[in-house]
């Protein structure tokens, strides 16, 4: 069967360099725009914001992706992981996707809106007297909404899916785009550009191997879930009858899920029992040396943000930028590790849970998971860690069987870049490679190494680039820093104005008055 007009053919699929004539012969319309950003999420948004502030017209940028608003996917994940709009994110006061200057900060704006000095006192005394200030999720989304309107972001937005990026003979790139159903007369559109920016976020949901095997074997996706999947049905079920939940993971998501379970227990007078499975139990400060230690207790490693703050603009950022290959990987290993911020409310909850017995800790490795008799719950077989610094019961062969109604996996999102079709295609056909951490290999300015074509460049930012010269990529501030580096790189090529001090002050004043860029 011949492919439909306006669609891919074997020649295009199997060719690394496309000519204009090849695309035209396939019946695919070509749209010319200098800068294409792929993803339509917060990574695309902050990059567009920086370029607009640097004077790039909205019609010179194409934002390609499925999200109708930049925060759509992020809000979905935060809501599933028990951070609704009124709860606080794990981000500091000055990490603002809507404001590249960082002033006035979230804390100042919250204090002004609520007519209270509480947020200001918080940032002045953190982290000695108070915990780190973090903004409410809703505040971040509402601020992005206002900035998107101010910079005319939606004029650049094209909803749909990007199929692939290929180098163009003569320089630049073709980005093959499948428009949202009902918005185009052809199945595909090819955006021809000098620059491409890829910021697609996480490739997908990640389940621990034994949990994935259980779901594939028994077809049970209701009792065993990832915390980033919709799982409100679990909380509804626990309100209907008593039950036991196994929590796996020790990061911010695990702490939020635990808080939700205990909040519901207190609010509705429930009898929910919680078993928290730690693979590694942290009971004291730990780290490779005195100057690189984080506190820990009761199984948790504590840290205000996912990395030490100096990775965003201090000594660790400077040090990492000078390291290559496995020297850089070694430093990543030193500063990485699962951790969660110290928050007094849920720490008090867990202390009460340990005292009352409804919150139990098990340290070991999960080896089996099977349905209970009559599929009334599940049975987890855990090999108990005999060296854990707490007393534990174990059964024959060191295996303890735990009966539960539900398992919630809070260990994270899928990190394998090859799980995403576009990233895999970049690796296979566009010259891109992997860094020592197995993610996309980028230069210091976030240009995707090996993909340059004539005067054209491909940039990549976000979690897909973890392992590069800048560690804090998967954060609001990290995306802003990447956007600044990308903006400066294209400004050096003559594509836009540099953000000089004078222009920055002028554009901040326009931002403060909600005036559009000029």
Per-residue pLDDT tens for 44-81? 999 999 999 999 999 999 999 999 999 999 999 999 99
Residue 2: predicted pLDDT: 44
Domain shared by 27 and 121, yes or no: no
**How sure is the predictor about 421, in pLDDT bands with cuts at 50, 70 and 90?**
very high
* 422: Cβ contacts below 8 Å, ≥ 6 apart: 38, 162, 163, 164, 165, 198, 200
Domain shared by 36 and 184, yes or no: yes
Domain shared by 400 and 460, yes or no: no
Q: What is the pLDDT of residues 292-333, one digit of tens each?
A: 788 899 999 988 887 888 888 888 899 999 999 889 999 988
Torsion of CA 274, 277, 278, 282, to 10 degrees: 30
DSSP reduced 3-state for 23: helix
Does the structure show a pLDDT above 60 at 4?
no
Cα(427)–Cα(450) distance, rounded to whole angstroms?
10
Task: Judge whether 313 lies within some domain.
Answer: no
Q: Final residue of a domain: which of 390, 409, 428?
A: 409
Does the structure show a pLDDT above 80 at 215?
yes
What CATH number is attached to the domain comprising 444? 3.50.50.60
Domain shared by 247 and 378, yes or no: yes
Domain shared by 214 and 275, yes or no: yes
| Owning domain of residue 425 | 19-75+147-204+416-513
DSSP reduced 3-state for 447: strand
> In this predicted structure, which of 33-47, 157-171, 209-223 has the lowest mean pLDDT?
209-223
DSSP reduced 3-state for 103: coil
Task: Judge whether 81 lies within some domain.
Answer: no
State mean pLDDT over 176-184.
89
Task: Judge whether 9 lies within some domain.
Answer: no
**Neighbour-count burial of 448, counting CB atoms closer than 10 A to its CB (0-12 exposed, 13-18 middle, 19+ buried):** buried
| 259 in Cβ contact with 225 (< 8 Å) | no
| Percentage of residues of the chain with pLDDT beyond 90 | 79
Domain shared by 161 and 133, yes or no: no
Domain shared by 348 and 467, yes or no: no
> Shortest CA distance to 253 belongs to which of 439, 73, 481, 90?
90
User: Where do the H-state alpha helices sit in 101-193?
Assistant: 106-114, 118-125, 137-150
The residue among 128 and 366 whose pLDDT is bigger is: 366
User: Where do the H-state alpha helices sit in 384-461?
Assistant: 421-429
Does the structure show a pLDDT above 70 at 3?
no
Cβ density class 230-260: b for 16+ within 10 Å, e for less: ebeebbeebeeeebbbbbbbbbbbbbbbbbb
Q: What is the pLDDT of residues 260-277, one digit of tens each?
A: 999 999 999 999 999 999
Task: Judge whether 269 lies within some domain.
Answer: yes
Domain shared by 404 and 421, yes or no: no
pTM over 0.85: yes
Number of domains in the chain: 3
Tokens of 39: 């993803």
Task: Judge whether 302 lies within some domain.
Answer: no
Cα(461)–Cα(418) distance, rounded to whole angstroms?
16
Q: What residues are paired with 499 via a beta bridge?
A: none
Does the structure show a pLDDT above 80 at 291?
no
Domain shared by 195 and 217, yes or no: no
State mean pLDDT over 485-503.
96
> Shortest CA distance to 340 belongs to which of 280, 250, 415, 410?
250
Cα dihedral across residues 43, 47, 48, 50: positive or negative? positive
Task: Judge whether 396 lies within some domain.
Answer: yes
| 99 in Cβ contact with 146 (< 8 Å) | no
Q: Final residue of a domain: which of 141, 160, 176?
A: 141
**Neighbour-count burial of 421, counting CB atoms closer than 10 A to its CB (0-12 exposed, 13-18 middle, 19+ buried):** middle
Task: Judge whether 303 lies within some domain.
Answer: no
Q: What is the pLDDT of residues 354-404, one digit of tens each?
A: 999 999 999 999 999 999 987 789 999 999 999 999 999 888 889 999 999
Backbone angles phi, psi at 9, to 5 degrees: -130, 175
Q: Final residue of a domain: which of 353, 380, 409?
A: 409
Around 99, how many Cα atoms within 13 Å sit in the side-chain half-sphere?
Answer: 25
Domain shared by 254 and 361, yes or no: yes
Domain shared by 168 and 59, yes or no: yes
Residue 5: predicted pLDDT: 60
Helix (H) or strand (E) holding 316: helix 315-320
Number of residues that make up the chain:
518
Task: Judge whether 316 lies within some domain.
Answer: no
Domain shared by 238 and 120, yes or no: no
């Amino acid at each position: 069967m011949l492919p439909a007009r306006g669609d891919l053919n074997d020649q295009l699929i199997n060719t690394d360099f496309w000519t204009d004539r090849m695309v035209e012969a396939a019946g695919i319309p070509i749209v010319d725009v200098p800068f294409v950003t792929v993803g339509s999420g917060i990574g695309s948004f902050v990059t567009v914001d920086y370029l607009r502030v640097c004077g790039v017209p909205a019609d010179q940028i194409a934002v390609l992706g499925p999200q109708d608003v930049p925060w759509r996917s992020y809000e979905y994940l935060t809501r599933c992981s028990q951070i609704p709009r009124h709860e606080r994110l794990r981000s500091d006061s000055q990490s603002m996707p809507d404001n590249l200057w960082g002033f006035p900060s979230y804390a100042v704006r919250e204090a002004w809106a609520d007519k209270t000095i509480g947020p200001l006192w918080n940032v002045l005394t953190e982290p000695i007297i108070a915990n780190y200030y973090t903004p409410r999720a809703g505040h971040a989304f509402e601020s992005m909404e206002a900035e998107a309107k101010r910079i005319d972001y939606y004029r650049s937005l094209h909803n749909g899916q990007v199929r692939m990026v290929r180098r163009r003979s003569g320089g630049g790139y073709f980005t093959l785009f499948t428009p949202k159903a009902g918005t185009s007369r052809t199945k595909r559109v090819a955006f021809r550009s000098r620059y491409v920016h890829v910021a697609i976020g996480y490739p997908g949901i990640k389940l621990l191997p034994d949990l994935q095997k259980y779901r594939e074997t028994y077809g049970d996706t209701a009792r065993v879930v990832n915390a980033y999947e919709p799982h409100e049905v679990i909380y509804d079920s626990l309100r209907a009858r008593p039950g036991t939940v196994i929590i796996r993971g020790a990061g911010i998501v695990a702490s939020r899920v635990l808080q939700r379970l205990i909040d519901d227990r207190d609010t509705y007078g429930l009898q929910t029992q919680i078993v928290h499975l730690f693979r590694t139990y942290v009971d004291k400060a730990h780290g490779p040396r005195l100057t690189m230690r984080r506190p820990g207790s009761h199984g948790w490693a504590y840290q205000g943000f996912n990395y030490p703050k100096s990775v965003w603009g201090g000594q660790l950022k400077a040090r990492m930028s000078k390291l290559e290959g496995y020297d850089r990987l070694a430093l990543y290993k030193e500063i990485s590790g699962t951790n969660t911020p110290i928050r007094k409310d849920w720490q008090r909850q867990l202390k009460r849970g340990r005292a009352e017995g409804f919150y139990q800790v098990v340290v070991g490795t999960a080896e089996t998971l099977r349905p209970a008799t009559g599929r009334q719950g599940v049975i987890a077989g855990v090999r108990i860690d005999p060296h854990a610094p707490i007393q534990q019961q174990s059964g024959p062969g060191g295996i303890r069987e735990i009966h539960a109604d539900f398992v919630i996996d809070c260990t994270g999102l899928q990190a394998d870049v090859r799980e995403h079709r576009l990233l895999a295609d970049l690796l296979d056909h566009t010259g891109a490679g992997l860094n020592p951490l197995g993610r996309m290999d980028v230069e210091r300015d976030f240009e995707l190494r090996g993909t340059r074509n004539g005067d054209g460049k491909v940039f990549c930012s976000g979690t897909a680039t973890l392992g590069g010269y800048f560690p804090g990529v998967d954060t609001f501030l990290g995306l802003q820093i990447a956007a600044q580096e990308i903006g400066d790189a294209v400004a050096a090529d003559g594509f836009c104005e540099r953000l000089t001090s004078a222009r920055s002050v002028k554009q901040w004043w326009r931002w403060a008055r909600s005036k559009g860029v000029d």
